[in-house]
Amino acid sequence: MATVLKVGVIGCGGIAQMTHLPFLAERHDLFQIEAVCDPYPLSRQAVAERYRVPHQFADAADLLKLPLDAVLVLSADPHTPAVIAAAQAGKHVFVEKPLAINLREVNDVRNAVDKAGVQLMIGYMKRFDPTYRHVQQLLAGRDDLRHAQINVWHPDDAAYRTHHRIVPPPVLLDRAAVVDEMGVTELVTQGVLSDLVDEALGRGGNIDRRIAYFILCTSIVHQVSAMRGILGEPEAVLSTHVWHDARGIQSTFQFSKQLTATLTWLFLPGIKHYRESYEFLAPDLRLEMVFPSPYLLHFPTSLRLEGMENGMPWEKHMTVSNAEAFHEEMLHFHHCVVTGERPMTGIEEAQRDTELLMAMANAYQP
């Protein structure tokens, strides 16, 4: 296969404009943007003009008729119809998280990808962050960890996009006018996404569980994937708590007799400051890793270590790299397509994540 991949982009919204399209255009030695697709003409035309893309379509089926090497599925959920169509058209596929909302979708994608013999990679960019990779190495093989704690303080998503030049501009949340701050209640009670949630959890049921499961799939899946990448597979989900109309979600996991982990996610829209921290605690080591907002490109993930030496406590702060995680994952995708190596975040990761997300939702007892 040629080193320069001819790619098409399905979905021209925020994530495409903020992260993927600028990198694809910058690395013209690796990628050639042949086509973009979006049902909304304003975004589609703006992107095509900005990056001088020769083809633009409103329907993904038209894009898939082109002789492309690979397709990036960056559209709104659900992703599986476009992923399956791209695989059936013989295109390698990169898809933003989540791949799926339920296990039936995962199996449908697996069948399509296996039959077509193409690569599938899921956009878990945190797994490619240089600091995250360094922490994996630091903790590999340790059997004395006692607890891990993951916290996410999530602001209004649009507020963190205002420094980007997005078409159309982000719509900031008016908390006084909007009762459903997160805007997800309608999504999980009617329409295609509601049907997909039904397949995972059963029809109807507790509304807070449904909202929490949707947030687990579309946002918290990042932290679940990152947790699994360092600690491995948990033995059990001990509990899940959901409160404040699912604006707060917390799960506790058992990894062994001595190791537990807690993941807490809070929607806090009134302060434009995203925070995502991971703490790993052992008798002789305290490690804290803090990710920046994913929309602040090339901001380093910070790392702080604490230990003891000669009876004295020490503390060390490290900047591992300023390399951008979104870029690192796209370099990995290019490598896998060209060499045939299996992506680090492939279909098996989606399978395990979806199983764990369902277990987290089912551990909630209203």
pLDDT tens digit string along 111-131?
999 999 999 999 999 999 999
State both tokens at 262.
């807690």
What H or E segment, with its residue span, contains residue 121? Answer: strand 120-123
Whole-prediction pTM: 0.96
Residue 1 has what pLDDT? 66
Q: Assign domain 127-324+353-362 to a CATH class.
A: alpha beta
For the ranges 59-73, 146-160, 261-275, the one whose mean pLDDT is highest: 59-73
At CA 203, angle to CA 201 and CA 206, rounded to 5? 70
Tokens of 324: 């951008």
The answer on pLDDT for 177 being more than 90 is: no
Q: What would the mean pLDDT of 313-340 be, rounded to a whole number?
A: 97
Per the CB < 8 A criterion, the answer to whether 58 and 176 are in contact is: no
Query: What's residue 183's pLDDT?
Result: 81
Taking residues 302-325, what's their average pLDDT?
97
pLDDT at 179 over 80: no
pLDDT higher than 60, residue 299: yes
> pLDDT confidence of 108, banded at 50, 70, 90?
very high
pLDDT digits (tens, 9 = 90+) for 25-55: 999 999 999 999 999 999 999 999 999 999 9
Confidence grade of residue 180 (pLDDT, cut at 50, 70, 90): confident
Taking alpha carbons only, the member of 171, 160, 161 closest to residue 271 is 160
Please state, in angstroms and rounded to a whole number, the distance separating the CA atoms of residues 157 and 173. 9
Q: What is the rounded CA–CA span in Å between residue 291 and residue 222?
A: 12
Sign of the alpha-carbon torsion through 158, 263, 106, 201 = negative
Give residue-wise pLDDT tens across range 189-217: 999 999 999 999 999 889 999 999 999 99
Q: CATH classification of 5-123+327-345 is 3.40.50.720, yes or no? A: yes
Give me the chain's average pLDDT, please: 95
Residue 176 has pLDDT above 60, yes or no: no
Q: For residue 53, how many other CB atoms are within 10 A of its CB?
A: 21
Domain ranges within the chain, ordered by starting residue: 5-123+327-345, 127-324+353-362
Contact residues for 200 (Cβ-Cβ < 8 A; gap 6+): 101, 102, 103, 213, 354, 358, 361
Give per-residue burial for 92-101: e unless 16+ CB within 10 Å, then b: bbbbbbbbbb
Across 178-192, 258-272, 334-348, least confident range = 178-192
> How many Å apart are CA 41 and CA 229, to the nearest integer?
39
**Cα angle, residue 61 at apex, residues 83 and 338 outer, rounded to 5°:** 50
Domains 5-123+327-345 and 127-324+353-362 are alike in CATH topology:
no
Q: Find out whether 86 and 11 touch, Cβ atoms under 8 Å.
A: no
